[in-house]
Chain A
């Protein structure tokens, strides 16, 4: 099956997850236990089951999988609507981040039916018979669907994502031609939801040192900015077996970006730029 854009939901259902044991490479405190099943509302006609990852830091218990039944006739069309419905009608302790509900803030990034996306732009009708909702993959979990992004933003800080200039400050703004401005298209739109970094197997295994697709896309956004004057220093910092070169062009990042951006291409551009400056 050919995927034309990242918002296309895979219809390939014979292999929903890799054939590895559920507890493969999973530390004791991260093991997921069976949770409780909440009953379906009595008068509901169209009911859909949602299996949701829960973790309560105050209980001292391990994470668990709870099953909820959502009345689709009483609920909006998106997965985020279902989560809000559950929080309002069934279990008010269900915890998740959300803000804009229209795919521009990146708060509600999570793993739905095995792929990372924004809950506010994923249709419930595109979910499997039993919808599964996990937090972003490979993150330390604060509570339920809320991941700790401290490390990711520290990695973002490491690339110094601001304008570096050496020439004296101009009287007015720094000008760009239309063509120079166009170089930023496809890169400046990133909303930092970290769907890509969380979906990158290289970042799963080497996330402590590999910067990951989201941060490297930002690195390219500054490298390709005509106003930035620190290209050499930026490339020196990136030219490292781990920071950049743990990217093996798997391209899960490009497959999962909810904004349709292309982190894989941005990383290839950085690698090419490093080769070109050496020749």
Chain B
């Protein structure tokens, strides 16, 4: 017998419906940042492949290096690189937040929300700062 319709007096033969979960549950800073941490983690593992390609091209000689540099320098390449930078900082800040939680600190709802928004703002600031430094100090 179906384990989902095991009520002793149930006349229903079909299994009980599952009430909706992610389809209706309101996005909250708690769940949104958790998903963001997952997604940036996945994005960064692809970004790591890109980093290896870039390093490999550097070692392979001037021509492969020039090809990869052109790809990175293209508008699409710059957008991807910017995205990777943001993903890196969001994942880093989120990780630091998790370290505090692992020591059982910052668990009041107020601290959860303050640290959450701090992670968002810090990763935006760090991304913009990193790009500002690379553009204005390091040159293109």
List residues of A whose CB falls within 8 A of some B CB: 1-6, 10, 15-18, 20-27, 29-30, 32, 53, 55, 57-58, 60, 62-63, 111, 113-115, 132, 134-142, 147-148, 150, 199, 201, 204, 248-252, 254-255, 262, 264-265, 268-269, 271-272
B112 (CB) vs chain A CBs: closest residue: A251
The answer to whether A63 touches B17 (Cβ under 8 A) is: yes
Residue B104 CB within 8 A of the other chain? yes
Q: Could you name 6 residue pairs across A and B whose Cβ atoms are closer than 8 Å?
A: A15-B27, A30-B20, A32-B20, A204-B21, A272-B102, A272-B103
Q: Is B12 an interface residue (CB 8 A)?
A: yes
Contacts A29-B17, A137-B21, A248-B34 hold; do A269 and B104 have CB atoms under 8 A apart?
yes
Interface bin, chain B = 35 or more
**B7 part of interface (Cβ distance < 8 Å):** yes
CB-defined interface of B65-109 with A at 8 Å, one 1/0 digit per residue?
000000000000000000000000000000000100111100111
| Number of cross-chain contacts by CB at 8 Å | 153
**Given A111-B25, A255-B28, also A268-B17 (CB < 8 A):** no
Which residues from chain B sit less than 8 Å from chain A, CB to CB?
4, 6-7, 10-12, 14-31, 34, 98, 101-104, 107-110, 112-114, 117
- Classify the secondary structure of B's interface with A: loop
A140 touches B10 (CB 8 A): no
- Interchain residue pairs A-B with the least CB separation, the first 4: A114-B26, A265-B107, A138-B21, A30-B17
Rounded to whole angstroms, the CA-CA distance of A248 and B35 in the bound complex is 10
The distance in angstroms between the C-alpha atoms of A262 and B105, with both chains bound, is: 12
Judging by beta carbons under 8 Å apart, are A18 and B102 in contact? no
User: Which interface residue of B14, B24, B34, B102 has the most chain A CB atoms within 10 A?
Assistant: B24
Q: Is the CB of B26 within 8 A of A268?
A: no
A251 and B30 contact, CB distance less than 8 A: yes
Cα distance A204–B27 in the bound complex, in angstroms: 15
Contacts A10-B26, A58-B11, A115-B26: A262 and B107 contacting too (C-beta < 8 A)? yes
How many angstroms from the CA of A77 to the CA of B11 in the assembled complex?
37
B residues in contact with A15, CB < 8 Å: 27
Q: Verify A264–B23 contact, CB threshold 8 A.
A: no
Contact of A141 among B19, B29, B34, B101 (CB under 8 A): B19
| B40 nearest CB across to chain A (Å) | 14
Q: Is the CB of B10 within 8 A of A139?
A: no
Nearest-neighbor residue (CB-CB) of A2 within chain B: B113
The answer to whether B24 touches A111 (Cβ under 8 A) is: yes
Contacts of B11 in A (CB 8 A): 57-58
Give chain B residues whose Cβ lies under 8 Å from the Cβ of A134: 19-20, 24
- Bound-complex Cα distance A30 to B24 (A): 13
Q: Do residues A268 and B104 form an inter-chain contact, with CB atoms below 8 A? A: yes
State whether A29 and B15 are in contact (beta carbons under 8 Å apart), knowing that A249-B101, A255-B30, A264-B107 are contacts in the complex.
yes
Which residues of B lie under 8 Å from residue A3 when comparing CB positions?
A: 29, 109-110, 112-113
> In the complex, are the beta carbons of A254 and B19 less than 8 A apart?
no
Q: Are A271 and B25 closer than 8 Å at their CB atoms?
A: no
Q: Is B107 within 8 A of A139, CB to CB?
A: no
A199–B25 touching, CB < 8 Å: yes
State how many angstroms separate the Cβ of A275 from the closest Cβ of chain B.
Answer: 8
**Closest approach, in angstroms, between the C-beta of B28 and any C-beta of chain A?**
6
Closest to A14 in B: B27
Contacts of B20 in A (CB 8 A): 26, 30, 32, 134, 137-138
**Closest B residue, CB atoms, query A136:** B19
- CB A12 to nearest CB in B, in angstroms, measures 8
Q: How far is the CB of B60 from chain A (nearest CB, A)?
A: 40
Residues of B within 8 A of A137 (CB): 19-21, 24-25
Chain B residues with CB below 8 A from A262, complex form: 107-109
A57 touches B22 (CB 8 A): no
Contact of A268 with B24 in the complex, beta carbons under 8 Å: no
CA distance A26 to B22 in the complex (A): 10
Residue in contact with A24 in the complex, picked from B17, B19, B23, CB distance below 8 Å: B23
Q: Tell me which of A57, A113, A199, A268 contacts B101 (CB under 8 A).
A: A268
